[in-house]
Structure 1
Amino acid sequence: MSTNNFDVAIVGGGAAGLSAALALGRSLRSVVVLDAGHPRNAPAHGAHNLLGNEGISPLDLLAKGRTEAAGYGVDIRATEVRDITRNSNGDFDIQTSDARRVSARRLLLATGLVDELPDVPGVAELWGSSVLHCPYCHGFEVRGKRIGVLGTSPMSVHQTMLFQQLSDDVILFTHTMPPLSEEERQQLSALGVQIVDGPVARLDIADGSLRSVELADGTSIDRDALVVAPRFVVVSELYTRLGGTLAEHPAGQIIPTDPMGATDLPGVWAAGNNTDLAAVVAVSMGAGVMAGAAINADLIAEEARLALANSAAATAG
């Protein structure tokens, strides 16, 4: 078992974590990124609204990011973090799945979130291709196609309105969502949206793509894409184990931070989807850079205090 000491340990090697690592590496900090290798957007064909890398494969983007961070001396390890504790010095001792222990003065949690999908057969199989949720991430790719929206919450009306901008053939399947008001029905009808009441039983798949949506009564309606609303579950076990408390959010829970990513726990920052459920890749990158800069500034302040204390002690001696 080996022990390594770093200025900063980053848990999570996605857009936020690697962006923070890049900023810290360029500031000559010793940094380790510990990544379990399960990026949330892996099923997607491309990452969008990403200036200079529009449409790039999410996995290719991360590979580029790892190469860039490593070029500034960042140590990137494919391993899962099992536990984090704070030692008597106030630093963090991190235990990983490869039985190696890492010690760091500061900690950044860039652990992201997990999408809990509606329990409809076929949804998980097509997630990231024919089944999607964000009009800004993947809406352009289904423009003009036959789109269905799976109603699971009051927000399904909002989703439907967003996607009707992209196609003249949009159906809202009310499924398990609360009953529509008469005003909502009239508004959707005026926008050309068809409303189909009743639960959805399954998705019919052909050649790896959505062919139709089958209702519980046996009715089958052809669709090219289905919009769903996942439940966003933040990966927060390490944060709460350290003593942190999650904050409530209309779509779930988040790790609360200040604008630069600092949490209520001394020495702990967070960035990415674990603090912002709606953050797209570009936003997560920005949050990572800001957190990296804040961590570096915090370390500089500590080093200045220690230098002053040592100077005073030397003078007194």
Structure 2
Amino acid sequence: MSAQTSQYESDPLPTEIVDVVVVGGGAAGLNGALMLARSRRSVVVIDSGDPRNAPATAMHGSIVLDGAPPTEILRRGREQVREYGGQVVFGEVAAAEPAAPTADGDLRFSVTLADGRTLTARRVLVATGLRDVLPEVPGLAEHWGHSVVHCPYCHGWEVRDEPIGIIATGPASIHHAWLFRQLTDDLVYFTRGTDLNPETRARFAARNIRIIETDVREIVNDDGGALAGVRLTDDTFVERRVLAVATRMQARTEGLDGLKLPMEDLPDNMGRRLASDIAGTTGIPGVWVAGNATDLAAQVGASAAAGALAGSHMNAMLATADTDAALAVAQRTTG
């Protein structure tokens, strides 16, 4: 269990077989668990207590919940899952793998936590989210989620009219520039060795986006510790109050190697995701995936919706398995 989870109340890990174990306690995992629990499925959420949006003070872009603190949304989500009989266990998954199926062919999965406790489930929903990989620029990471942002829809309104700099990481940063130009008239694009073709340069010039090709040495703070600007390798200082960066997004898969889930690389080195199909199904029978682990661009609302869809689909498949098992018993009895 990580140190961050100690502030939360954890349910006991059940010793009996449960219908579904959800790996990940963010919006996708909790909404999937909610759908399952409301269908009277036994469901356990394993939550590492380390959500992607932990550095943010507010969540935006979701009607009704716009501006709510992420911690409060998750607290209320856990509470609602528990209201329907679901359980939330704080801990980290060390291993997850298929176990021997039952005599009638129903699937089983074994999940082991970092503290050695184990759980057996009929199905698995992976909702582990992703990790944002920042470029290795000294001083950048300390402002992540505040003055260093990645999403114009999550943070854009809050940084409007500020002097903004784009820390380029690849082709996705060009798209970033168009979106952040909507928010400010003072935008600088730091190429950091990435390519800009003549057409893009002309389009930047037409929108008054300044291009700086001298490499970035470090991020500079003011006397109060706030972001003040960028120091270039030629010692030039460029004042900026906000920096936008297109991170490399990496699905979190720690402890899940035993499930052998298929993965896919996104173009232009944008990231790596868990491959999924309709309703979050994967190439592994009995395992679904939802949220940022498979849809790297999904915001909180979209992740929650994906979790709900996956949860309802899992319940439908479990209902079919339950009926198949009941029919087999009935036929053996009458036979």
The TM-score, its normalising length taken from structure 1, stands at: 0.96
Is residue 152–residue 175 contact of structure 1 (8 Å, CA) maintained in 2? yes
Residue 188 (structure 1) aligned to one of 192, 195, 204: 204
Amino acid at match of 1:20: G
- 1:223-234 equivalences under 5 Å are 223-234=240-251
Question: Secondary structure at the residue paired with 2:278?
Answer: coil
Deviation (angstroms), 1:256? 1.4
Is residue 108–residue 268 contact of structure 1 (8 Å, CA) maintained in 2? yes
Question: Secondary structure at the residue paired with 1:73?
Answer: coil
Is residue 15–residue 119 contact of structure 2 (8 Å, CA) maintained in 1? yes
Partner of 2:62: 50
**Deviation sequence 1:109-159 (CA, Å, 0-9, x none):** 101111110101111000000000111111111111110001121222111
Partner of 1:258: 277
Residue 150 (structure 2) aligned to one of 133, 141, 149: 133
Residue 296 (structure 2) aligned to one of 277, 281, 285: 277
Following the alignment from structure 1 to structure 2, what is the Cα–Cα distance between the partners of residues 208 and 137?
23
Partner of 2:139: 122
**Deviation sequence 1:219-266 (CA, Å, 0-9, x none):** 111111001111111112444422222123222222111120111101
Deviation (angstroms), 1:2? 7.3
Residue 305 (structure 1) aligned to one of 303, 310, 324: 324
Amino acid at match of 2:320: A
Name stretches of at least 5 consecutive residues in structure 1 with no aligned partner.
none
- 1:1-317 equivalences under 5 Å are 3-89=15-101, 90-178=107-195, 180-206=196-222, 207-250=224-267, 251-316=270-335
Question: Secondary structure at the residue paired with 2:292?
Answer: coil
Is residue 13–residue 34 contact of structure 1 (8 Å, CA) maintained in 2? yes
Name stretches of at least 5 consecutive residues in structure 2 with no aligned partner.
1-12, 102-106
Question: Secondary structure at the residue paired with 2:16?
Answer: strand
Distance of aligned partners of 1:2 and 1:154 in 2 relative to their CA distance in 1, 3 Å threshold: closer
Following the alignment from structure 1 to structure 2, what is the Cα–Cα distance between the partners of residues 175 and 258?
36
Partner of 2:10: none
Following the alignment from structure 2 to structure 1, what is the Cα–Cα distance between the partners of residues 271 and 240?
29
Question: Secondary structure at the residue paired with 1:195?
Answer: strand
Is residue 96–residue 257 contact of structure 2 (8 Å, CA) maintained in 1? no
Amino acid at match of 2:128: T
Instruction: After superposing the two structures, state which structure 1 stretch, 228-237 or 195-204, moved more.
Output: 228-237
CA RMSD of aligned residues (A): 1.4
Question: Secondary structure at the residue paired with 1:232?
Answer: strand
Deviation (angstroms), 1:194? 1.0
Amino acid at match of 1:27: S
Is residue 169–residue 247 contact of structure 2 (8 Å, CA) maintained in 1? no
**Deviation sequence 1:47-71 (CA, Å, 0-9, x none):** 1111111011111111111111111
Following the alignment from structure 1 to structure 2, what is the Cα–Cα distance between the partners of residues 259 and 87?
25
Amino acid at match of 1:264: G
Instruction: After superposing the two structures, state which structure 1 stretch, 69-78 or 92-101, moved more.
Output: 92-101
Q: Paired residues, what number?
A: 315
Deviation (angstroms), 1:99? 2.2
Following the alignment from structure 2 to structure 1, what is the Cα–Cα distance between the partners of residues 304 and 248?
22
Deviation (angstroms), 1:283? 0.5
Question: Secondary structure at the residue paired with 1:4?
Answer: coil
Instruction: After superposing the two structures, state which structure 1 stretch, 212-221 or 242-251, moved more.
Output: 242-251
Amino acid at match of 1:48: H
The list of structure 1 runs, each at least 4 consecutive aligned residues, that deviate by more than 6 angstroms after superposition, is none
Amino acid at match of 1:212: G
Following the alignment from structure 2 to structure 1, what is the Cα–Cα distance between the partners of residues 292 and 199?
34
Is residue 30–residue 81 contact of structure 2 (8 Å, CA) maintained in 1? yes
Amino acid at match of 1:205: N
**Deviation sequence 1:158-209 (CA, Å, 0-9, x none):** 111110111110111111312x222211111110111111111111123342
